[in-house]
């Protein structure tokens, strides 16, 4: 038997079934017309945004990093809840516009922006988080061609990273941003060129669960902002402090203490020098806002025994849940939180391995989990499916195609 991750709070049962948005899993599966499906809870999303805003300092704006989940109805909902969107490609930019986001609420990061992406963003008045000197040059040239003054922020590659983070985006040689020591010269160049300098984007890492680590990173980020501002001699209009707030996926993981993070940040922001009094600060969160609001539901199509082990074969798999299968950015496979959705209240009585329908041994959704007794037709729920699920998995692998998505 292997442990499974903690089921996020906010999920209850109706008539013994897992319910999302007040609807039992079996009703959701019927409503969607097919399994597998992703269900996103708008109540969960709203509450998470509310809790985050109330924990963070009043001065801090909250942006949504839409790379975590670009499902259009979810974007439209988030648009009404947050202060801005961070996009990571020309494709994401178009989706944000369709969701009704105003271009001046959008910032665009990403190390491989093409000229056509820059043109579109500059024409719209989107803020570019420039990742290199070369990108700044291209943006200035395109602005001149279009006769539009581009809005340029500089993404800084900090010399520190986010301790205990699942993904480090700073601290050493990186493809992201401009090494901190070259930033003052680049900003002066932007100012001299007459572009609208928008400030800094400093993103040191993601998926940390330790409040202390996030507090330390934010403190270092603010110190760097003070230092850069001093070196440049001009105050940044905006500073994006990045994200880094993780969610519990695996056995033993515990939630980030966001109140502790918010309190520490409040103290730090209050202590900033006068030169940063008019600067707008924001954080950008993706996974933290939407990850736990999503559940992947897949139906058991076969139940079989091999060499004494029980396998539950589902109609889903890694083509929708690459990260849950342990094949995306993880070295050692561990189990995401899982349940039998239509037996949500039943006590576990057997150990079984849940696999997907693909013809590859990589397609494992839960290894030797302790579960209630199941039959063909039962629904498996994989939690923490709201971020980096549908859009971060190879949907067309083995001719499968995408899952249904529902916002309830």
Q: Which is nearer to a second copy, 270 or 306 (CB)?
A: 306
Q: Does 266 bind a second copy (CB under 8 A)?
A: no
- What residues between 67 and 86 interact with a second copy by CB under 8 A? 67, 70
| Of the candidate residues 218, 240, 314, 335, the single one contacting a second copy (CB under 8 A) | 314
Cα–Cα distance between 370 and 130 in angstroms, integer? 48
- What residues between 234 and 253 interact with a second copy by CB under 8 A? none
Q: 3-state DSSP call for residue 159?
A: coil
Q: Does 110 bind a second copy (CB under 8 A)?
A: yes
Nearest distance in Å: CB 396, a second copy: 5
Closest of 85, 112, 81, 116 to residue 98, by C-alpha: 85
Nearest distance in Å: CB 67, a second copy: 5
Q: Which is nearer to a second copy, 90 or 348 (CB)?
A: 90
| Alpha helices in 166-320, H assignment, sequence order | 183-193, 211-232, 258-270, 287-290
Q: Does 41 bind a second copy (CB under 8 A)?
A: no
- What residues between 353 and 372 interact with a second copy by CB under 8 A? 353, 355-363
| Of the candidate residues 90, 125, 237, 348, the single one contacting a second copy (CB under 8 A) | 90
Q: Does 373 bind a second copy (CB under 8 A)?
A: no
> 312: Cβ–Cβ under 8 A, 6 or more apart, which residues?
300, 302, 303, 352, 353, 354, 355, 371, 374, 380
| Stretch of 25-33, 87-95, 287-295, 340-348 contacting a second copy, by CB under 8 A | 87-95
Report the DSSP beta bridge partners of residue 294. Answer: 40
Nearest distance in Å: CB 286, a second copy: 10
Q: How many residues bind a second copy (CB under 8 A)?
A: 73
- What residues between 388 and 407 interact with a second copy by CB under 8 A? 391-401
How many other C-beta atoms are found inside a 10 Å radius of the C-beta of residue 403? 26
- Residues 162-201 vs a second copy: string with x where CB under 8 A? -----xxx--xxxxx--x----------------------
The alpha carbon of residue 102 and the mean position of all alpha carbons in its chain are separated, in whole angstroms, by 21
Q: Which is nearer to a second copy, 256 or 357 (CB)?
A: 357
Nearest distance in Å: CB 276, a second copy: 26
CB crowding 361-395: b at 16 or more within 10 Å, else e: eebbbbbbbbbbebeeebbbbbbbbbbbbbbbbee
CB of 239 within 8 A of CB of 281?
A: yes
Q: Does 311 bind a second copy (CB under 8 A)?
A: yes
Nearest distance in Å: CB 225, a second copy: 20
> 113: Cβ–Cβ under 8 A, 6 or more apart, which residues?
90, 121, 128, 131, 135
Q: Does 350 bind a second copy (CB under 8 A)?
A: no
Cα–Cα distance between 394 and 153 in angstroms, integer? 33
Q: 3-state DSSP call for residue 369?
A: strand
Closest of 122, 131, 145 to residue 88, by C-alpha: 131
Nearest distance in Å: CB 177, a second copy: 8
Sheet containing strand 17-20, edge to edge, reads: 12-14, 17-20, 23-24
Q: Does 303 bind a second copy (CB under 8 A)?
A: yes
Q: Which residue has the tokens 């209850």?
A: 12
- What residues between 324 and 343 interact with a second copy by CB under 8 A? 327-329, 331
- What residues between 200 and 229 interact with a second copy by CB under 8 A? none
Q: Does 290 bind a second copy (CB under 8 A)?
A: no
Please work out, in degrees rounded to the nearest 5, the angle formed at the alpha carbon of residue 18 by the alpha carbons of 295 and 25: 70
Q: Does 351 bind a second copy (CB under 8 A)?
A: no
Nearest distance in Å: CB 164, a second copy: 15
Q: Which is nearer to a second copy, 65 or 209 (CB)?
A: 65
The alpha carbon of residue 211 and the mean position of all alpha carbons in its chain are separated, in whole angstroms, by 18
| Of the candidate residues 48, 63, 113, 287, the single one contacting a second copy (CB under 8 A) | 113
Nearest distance in Å: CB 390, a second copy: 8
């Amino acid at each position: 038997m292997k442990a499974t991750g903690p089921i996020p709070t906010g999920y209850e049962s109706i008539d013994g079934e897992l319910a999302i948005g007040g609807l039992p899993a079996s009703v959701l599966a019927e409503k969607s017309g097919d399994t597998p499906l992703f269900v996103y809870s708008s109540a969960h999303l709203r509450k998470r945004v509310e809790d985050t805003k109330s924990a963070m300092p009043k001065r801090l704006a909250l942006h949504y990093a839409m790379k975590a989940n670009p499902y259009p109805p979810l974007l439209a909902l988030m648009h009404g809840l947050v202060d801005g969107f961070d996009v990571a490609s020309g494709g994401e930019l178009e989706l944000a516009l369709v969701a009704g986001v105003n271009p001046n609420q959008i910032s665009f990061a990403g190390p491989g922006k093409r000229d056509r992406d820059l043109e579109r963003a500059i024409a719209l008045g989107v803020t570019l988080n420039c990742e290199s000197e070369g990108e700044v040059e291209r943006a200035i040239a395109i602005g001149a061609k279009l006769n539009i003054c581009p809005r340029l922020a500089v993404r800084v590659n900090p010399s520190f990273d986010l301790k205990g983070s699942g993904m480090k985006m700073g601290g050493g040689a990186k493809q992201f941003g401009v090494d901190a020591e070259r930033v003052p010269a680049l900003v002066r160049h932007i100012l001299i060129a007459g572009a609208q300098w928008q400030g800094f984007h400093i993103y040191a890492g993601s998926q940390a669960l330790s409040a202390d680590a996030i507090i330390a990173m934010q403190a270092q980020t603010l110190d760097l902002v003070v230092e850069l501002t001093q070196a440049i001699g001009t105050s940044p209009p905006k500073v994006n402090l990045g994200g880094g707030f993780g969610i519990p996926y695996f056995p033993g993981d515990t939630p980030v203490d966001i109140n502790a993070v918010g309190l520490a940040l409040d103290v730090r922001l209050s202590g900033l020098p006068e030169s940063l009094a008019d600067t707008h600060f924001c954080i950008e969160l993706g996974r933290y806002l939407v990850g736990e609001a999503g559940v992947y539901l897949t139906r058991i199509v076969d139940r079989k025994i091999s060499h004494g082990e029980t396998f539950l074969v589902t109609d889903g798999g890694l083509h929708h849940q690459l990260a849950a299968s342990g094949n995306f950015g993880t070295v050692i496979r561990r189990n995401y939180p899982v349940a039998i959705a239509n037996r949500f209240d039943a006590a576990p009585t057997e150990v079984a391995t849940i696999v997907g329908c693909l013809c590859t041994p990589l397609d494992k959704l839960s290894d030797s989990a302790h579960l209630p007794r199941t039959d063909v037709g039962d629904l498996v729920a994989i939690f923490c499916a709201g971020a980096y699920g549908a859009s971060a998995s190879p949907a067309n692998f083995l001719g499968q195609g995408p899952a249904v998505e529902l916002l309830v």
